């Protein structure tokens, strides 16, 4: 059995917890329960003919007052940074967290940017031009919806595959 530790990073209320709960239990709730500290979930998936255990560390969201606790990042093998499409400042925070994680872990680990709440695209502040900018910067991103489950599985699967590749190339 292969286990992978994956961290969920992002500003507060962007939907980290919702994404995990959609991916693991396929449920979504409108209620917002802010995560304190860290919450760990587990999901077994099959990819590339291998059974893989994902240990998902859903971390407290960053806001102006709360910095993320980097020690939870220790030993992570991959991570998601999550932004909320309806608040464009969360994208900046997400990109900043990405850099912090690289710096803390000492190397660029497999990671994906998730721009969440794709089900309410009409309320998005993040524009297609901004997405184009990300593409130019070669940042891998997915537009997900924890509510409808759109592209959630794809995103997790994609990260897992990248982590497996990383593991094989390290050998």
Partner 1 sequence: MTTELPVSEQAPVKESGILVEDSGVTEVSATERIDAHLANDNVAENAAVVSEDEAFWKSIPEAPTDKEVKLLRSLLFSREIAIIEKLRSSYTNAQYNAKKVGNILAEAILLRSKSDNGLNVALESVVDNILQSSLQKRKTEFVDVLYPLMGPTIRKSIAESFRSMMADFGKSMEMAFSWKGLRWRLEALRTGKTFSEVVLLHTLEYRVEQVFFIHSDTGLLLSYLINEEINAKGEGGDTNDAGMLSGMLTAIQDFVRDCFKGGDVESMQMGECTIYIKKSRLAYLACVVRGIPPVGLQRKLEEILEMLLIEYADELNDFCGDTAPFADAARLLETCMLSHYQREGRQVHPFWGKWVPYALALSFCIGLGVVYYGHAANIGAHREAIAVLRAEPGLMIVHVQEESGIFDRSPWKVIAFHDEFARMPADILTANGMDAALFSFNLVPFISHDRSVVLRRAEKSFSLPETVSMSLDNGLLTFKGTAPMAWILHTREAAMLLPGVKQVDMRGLRDPLAEEIARRVKIVEGVTVRFPAGGDMPITSDQPHLNNAMDALVELERLTRKMGIVVSLTIYGHADATGTAKRNYEISQARAHTVASMLYARGSGMPISIYGMGSQYPSDEKTGEYEQEKTMRQAPYGDDLASRRIEFRVHLTSQPTITTERLLSQ
The residues that touch Mg ion, with contacts defined as CB under 5 A, are: 16-17, 35
Tell me the three state secondary structure of residue 125: coil
Cite the DSSP H helix spans in 68-151.
89-105, 128-136
**Looking at the chain, how many residues does it have?**
171
Contact partner, 98, from ligand GTP, Mg ion, partner 1, none, Cβ < 5-8 Å per class: none
CB distance 54 to 6 below 8 Å: yes
Separation between Cα atoms, residue 93 and residue 48, nearest integer Å = 33
**Which positions ≥6 away from 4 have C-beta within 8 Å?**
52, 53, 54, 55, 77, 78, 160, 163
> Which residues, numbered 20-39, are part of the site for ligand GTP (CB under 6 A)?
29-30, 32-35
**Shorter beta-carbon distance to ligand GTP: residue 16 or 164:** 16
In eight-state DSSP terms, residue 72 is G
Residue closer to partner 1 by CB (options 108, 133) is: 108
Our finding on whether 170 is near partner 1 (CB under 8 A) is yes
Q: Which stretch binds partner 1 (CB under 8 A): 9-17, 75-83, 85-93, 148-156?
A: 75-83
Pick from 4, 17, 94, 142: which binds ligand GTP (CB under 6 A)?
17
Tell me the C-alpha to C-alpha distance, in Å, between residue 126 and each of 22, 63, 164, 168. 23, 19, 31, 36
By the rule CB under 8 A, 66 interacts with partner 1:
no
Q: Decide whether 5 or 147 has the Cβ nearer to partner 1.
A: 5
Q: Enumerate binding residues for ligand GTP (CB under 6 A).
A: 10, 12-18, 29-30, 32-35, 60-61, 116-117, 119-120, 145-147
């Amino acid at each position: 059995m292969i286990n992978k530790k994956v961290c969920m990073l992002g500003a507060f209320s962007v939907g980290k917890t919702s994404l995990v709960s959609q991916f693991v239990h396929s449920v979504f709730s409108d209620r917002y329960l802010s995560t304190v500290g860290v919450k760990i979930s587990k999901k077994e998936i099959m990819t590339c003919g291998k059974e893989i255990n994902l240990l998902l560390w859903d971390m407290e969201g960053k806001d102006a007052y709360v910095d993320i606790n980097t020690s939870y990042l220790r030993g992570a093998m991959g991570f998601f940074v999550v932004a909320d499409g309806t608040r464009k400042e969360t994208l900046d925070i997400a990109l900043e967290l990405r850099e912090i994680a690289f710096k803390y872990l000492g190397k660029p680990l497999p990671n994906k940017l998730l721009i969440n709440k794709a089900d309410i695209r009409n309320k998005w502040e993040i524009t297609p031009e901004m997405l184009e900018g990300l593409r130019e910067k070669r940042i891998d991103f997915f537009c997900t919806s924890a509510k409808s489950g759109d592209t959630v599985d794809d995103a997790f699967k994609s990260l897992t595959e990248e982590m497996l590749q990383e593991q094989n190339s390290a050998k």
